[in-house]
């Protein structure tokens, strides 16, 4: 065994690879273990919680689906509405914010604005400043405004709110990403007769797809996990998953670790699935797209 390890780490290059992979594997274990523990908790019984820590199903404890049955079978009628609300609100608000921010971000990246002391950098920083406004300051004005519009406890109220709060973040991110695109490619296309809209459609969007998808995922995750505005603007019909987690678990299901773990898994699953589905867009590099184009 010692000879085997000596052969592996014999050369300088082999030692570097060995230590690099060791660090990667250790870090992967640190990141993956909480997710593993969370999923494992959903299959434990009350006895497995009271005894010493258990790590392996069918070895340390006998797994059970009782927590999943309690949540999905016993309370499925109450859970599906919050899941549907969160999915619709997060998807629509993220898409709307992305559409608005893509136009604004590209304009700030490619055009110069000089209206006295106001420049493109000032406008970009103004967008960033909107993220610094405390949400509590806007809670009452939003509550009163949506009440007058009769949109309280309505999905549209949260969609509008999340879109407005998502646009500044998306504009700032996309502006920096568009600025990193080679402007020479766009200029060459316009010299060949392409219009500005044609350049945006056939060159800018394909090259910037990884950045646009990454921003969409960040917006989606932020909307999916948002709690404060959902608490202020919804009551029963448009309750989202974070609110349901607070109310339903405490009042109906009780404080049971298995039930809490099931809800936590359900809450984290949609963003994870969205990331896996859109992974190929995120992984596609900017240089690779330019060469392929």
Domains of the chain (ranges plus CATH)?
1-32 (no CATH), 42-74 (no CATH), 77-292 (1.10.3720.10)
Q: Residue 68: what pLDDT?
A: 81
Answer for the pair 238, 88: CB distance below 8 angstroms, yes or no: no
Q: Residue 96: what pLDDT?
A: 95
Q: In the structure encoding, which two tokens stand for residue 89, read together?
A: 């609100």
pLDDT tens column, 187-230: 888 888 888 888 888 888 888 888 888 888 889 988 998 888 99
DSSP state of 44: -
Helix axes 241-248, 76-110, angle to 10 degrees: 150
Q: Residue 287: what pLDDT?
A: 39
For residue 89, what pLDDT band results from cuts at 50, 70 and 90?
very high
Average of per-residue pLDDT across 240-260:
69
pLDDT over 70, % of the chain: 82
pTM: predicted TM-score of the whole model, two decimal places: 0.76
DSSP E strands in the chain: the ranges are: 114-115, 118-119
Answer for the pair 266, 76: CB distance below 8 angstroms, yes or no: no
pLDDT higher at 10 or 136: 136
Q: Residue 158: what pLDDT?
A: 94
Q: Residue 139: what pLDDT?
A: 86
Q: Residue 265: what pLDDT?
A: 84
Q: Residue 6: what pLDDT?
A: 55
Helices (H) and strands (E) in the chain, counts: 16, 2
Chain CA centroid to CA 67, Å: 27
């Amino acid at each position: 065994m010692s000879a085997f390890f000596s052969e592996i780490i014999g050369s300088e290059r082999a030692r570097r690879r060995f230590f690099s992979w060791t660090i990667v594997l250790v870090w992967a274990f640190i990141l993956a273990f909480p997710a593993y523990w969370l999923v494992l908790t959903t299959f434990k019984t009350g006895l497995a919680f009271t005894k010493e820590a258990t790590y392996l199903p069918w070895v340390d404890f006998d797994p059970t689906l009782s927590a999943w049955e309690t949540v999905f079978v016993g309370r499925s009628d109450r859970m599906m509405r919050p899941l549907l609300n969160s999915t619709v609100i997060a998807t629509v608000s993220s898409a709307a914010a992305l559409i608005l921010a893509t136009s604004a971000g590209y304009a700030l990246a490619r055009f110069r604005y000089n209206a006295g002391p106001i420049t493109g950098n000032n406008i970009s920083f103004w967008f960033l400043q909107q993220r610094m406004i405390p949400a509590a300051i806007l809670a009452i004005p939003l509550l009163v405004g949506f009440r007058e519009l009769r949109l309280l406890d309505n999905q549209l109220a949260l969609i509008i709110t999340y879109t407005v709060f998502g646009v500044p973040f998306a504009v700032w991110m996309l502006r920096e990403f568009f600025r990193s695109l080679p402007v020479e490619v766009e200029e060459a296309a316009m010299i060949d007769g392409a219009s500005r809209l044609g350049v945006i459609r056939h060159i800018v969007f394909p090259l910037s797809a990884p950045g646009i998808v990454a921003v969409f995922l960040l917006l989606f995750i932020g909307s999916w996990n948002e709690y404060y505005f959902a608490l202020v603007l919804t009551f029963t019909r448009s309750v989202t998953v974070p609110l349901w987690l607070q109310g339903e678990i405490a009042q109906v299901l009780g404080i049971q670790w298995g039930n809490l773990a099931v809800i936590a898994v359900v809450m984290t699953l949609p963003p994870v699935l969205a990331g896996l589905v859109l992974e190929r867009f995120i992984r596609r590099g900017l240089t690779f797209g330019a060469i392929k184009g």
